Chain A
């Protein structure tokens, strides 16, 4: 069956099986930032933004995305330039092995789209569904807070 959707502002049509998860459809079509982790909606490595809201794509039927607008980590950079959020993750060392990073970036991005002025608790809550098994949580939280501050200054 055909699946029509918009990913990172581009219209796409994918040929899918009704049994495919969103994670599989995205990865087999080249969106490799979507990581295959726990397959049970716990670790958040497969996080994508669907119509403005983060979901775990490993437990999300792809058919649910007909006509949806998606953002993956590939969509955060614009014209070859990383987003402020991505720059802050690098600058502040908020990455260790990197496997959880795309999911964390998207959770943070979704938060900042809705709430450009988050409190520390808001950031912690927004990242609570993204497990880092290198156990680095403080630096990602700090990076999101720093990005929020810089984005506000840029406006």
Chain B
């Protein structure tokens, strides 16, 4: 089986600028990292003569300074799952989401940048990074950065130009004032299937239990992973109860646009999304130290 019929050359750039130069120079060139998306479905119907493999371009790392955690784009999902840093950080939601990611074989090859760049609505990583308020660093003719919430345009489409590549994901480390709790949830047909609905939440409260900041993200319920801004706003300034959470999620249908596919109907996804949203908020609030 030849995985790309028209493939002629395979390039190994030494760094991100090198990769961008190759992508700009070569006609019909495509970037590849782990290849788990690209070789399965990422190239349907497109002619590709050149692959630019960025897994030896110095982009595999997890670093931490006082303000940020920085993850290189070609860091594998296994490396995220196993990194001691993420076992303790943010109620371990990134580590847990990485651990729910398909199978060991896929996690060993698939990369965080590849997962984001593939722009599939079912990504387990994207909702977590939205809850963590991550930024995506991109290299092209110049270096750019995008908040992950503004990174997606539609299914399989991001704001990046064809020749641009993701280089780094930057996660801010929250300041100590106020306590923040986090939650991640994934509902699938089976443990290793891709999500029917997934999501993540981050909730910061003050000493009295009032919500000071909230981020709620859901996946598989729209063209891309989304932030539920209306629900987030409903929570601000309130001490949460089960009733307040349920009321906040009442109109979730307005925020989402679920589709029917082989895994679930749009109706089922809508119903599950409301339950998941409420569960995420409750769990994150309790993890932050709130009482319900």
Contacts and interface: CB of A to CB of B under 8 A. Distances in A.
Real complex partners, A and B? yes
Interface string A44-76: 100100000111101111011000000000000
A41 B40 contact: yes
A128 B39 CA distance: 21
B7 A18 contact: yes
Nearest to B102: A129
Of B78, B104, B106, chain A has the most CB atoms within 10 Å of the CB of: B104
Contacts of A56: 36, 105-106, 109
A32 B121 CA distance: 37
A47 B107 CA distance: 13
Contact of B39 (A18, A53, A59, A125): A59
Given A59-B3, A128-B103, A64 B36 contact: no
A18 B39 CA distance: 13
A39 interface: yes
A59 B99 CA distance: 21
Contacts of A63: 10, 53
Of B9, B10, B108, B192, chain A has the most CB atoms within 10 Å of the CB of: B108
B161 interface: no
Contacts of A19: 2-5, 7
A128 B192 contact: yes
Contact of B2 (A20, A55, A58): A20
Contacts, number: 78
B7 A60 contact: no
B172 interface: no
B230 interface: no
Interface in B83-108: 99, 102-106, 108
B262 interface: no
Given A55-B108, A63-B10, A125-B104, A41 B36 contact: yes
A18 B7 CA distance: 7
Interface residues of A, number: 29
B3 A129 contact: no
B289 interface: no
B35 interface: yes
Interface string B6-38: 011110000000000000000000001001100
B191 A21 contact: no
Contacts of B3: 19, 21, 59, 61
B175 interface: no
Interface string A18-52: 11110110000000000000011100100100000
A39 B2 CA distance: 11
Interface string B39-56: 110000000000101010
Nearest to B106: A41
A19 B49 CA distance: 10
Contacts of A147: none
Interface in A105-155: 107, 110, 125-126, 128-130
Contact of A129 (B1, B9, B51, B104): B104
A17 interface: yes
Nearest to A48: B105
Of A23, A54, A107, chain B has the most CB atoms within 10 Å of the CB of: A54
A107 B39 CA distance: 22
A102 to B, nearest CB: 13
Nearest to A114: B82
Interface of B: 1-5, 7-10, 32, 35-36, 39-40, 51, 53, 55, 78, 99, 102-106, 108-109, 191-192
Given A59-B36, A61-B35, A125-B99, 19 more contacts: A17-B2, A18-B10, A21-B1, A21-B2, A21-B3, A24-B1, A40-B40, A44-B103, A54-B105, A55-B109, A58-B1, A59-B35, A60-B109, A61-B3, A61-B51, A107-B104, A128-B103, A128-B104, A129-B104
15 contacts: A18-B8, A19-B7, A21-B2, A41-B36, A41-B39, A44-B105, A54-B104, A55-B108, A56-B109, A59-B40, A60-B109, A64-B53, A110-B104, A125-B104, A129-B102
